[in-house]
Amino acid sequence: MAYLEKSHQNKTIYQTKTTEETSKLQFLIQQAHDLYAFIKGHADVENFRSFEHLARLLKEQSIPTKDGSVMPVEGAKLTSQILQNPSDPDATFRHKAGETHIGHSLNFVEVYDNETDMGLMMHADVKENTYSDAQYGEDFVKNHPLAKEMDTLAVDGAYYRQETVKHADE
């Protein structure tokens, strides 16, 4: 079996020419489907996380055809929530500031004391990569007990929302 050969990964992924991408993707999706069909029904394997990931990948990234084969979903039609990496099934995809990001987003709240010229991280929050900075700001102002203790809140422009300013004023 080709997948067991030591050099297989380089041949399948890294050495793929642009002109081969569509046919290789079609081939790999079909092989994933065939593997799924072969394994399905074996109770001892169906409970494995790897099988769950395979099922999710096929559900999100392939379309069954009338003849029983599958076709890959067109790239532009894939959502940011699809399985990005089986080792991190909650990771999402996002375009932000002209760059692509896969994974999660992390937001910190630092309390800064002007008198002592010192800051301290008081809160951290991890969300999907698709969670907006503005929503992080809104969540903090509305829900965090620290927000009621602050006189001044300074944030990056991406956190700005008119509703957040109203809540902060209140």
The burial class, CB within 10 Å (0-12 / 13-18 / 19+), for 129 is buried
Which residue in this structure is represented by tokens 């929050």?
125
Q: Where are the domains of the chain?
A: 2-78, 99-169
Measure the CA–CA gap between 70 and 74, rounded to whole angstroms: 12
Read off the pLDDT of residues 81-125 as tens digits, 9 standing for 90 and up. Answer: 999 888 889 999 888 888 888 999 999 988 888 899 999 998 999
pLDDT at 3: 62
Which segments in the chain show pLDDT lower than 70? 1-22
Q: Which two tokens stand for residue 86?
A: 């089986």
Cα-based angle 33, 89, 8 (whole degrees, multiple of 5): 50
pTM over 0.75? The answer is: no
pLDDT at 60: 96
> Average pLDDT, whole number, for the chain?
85
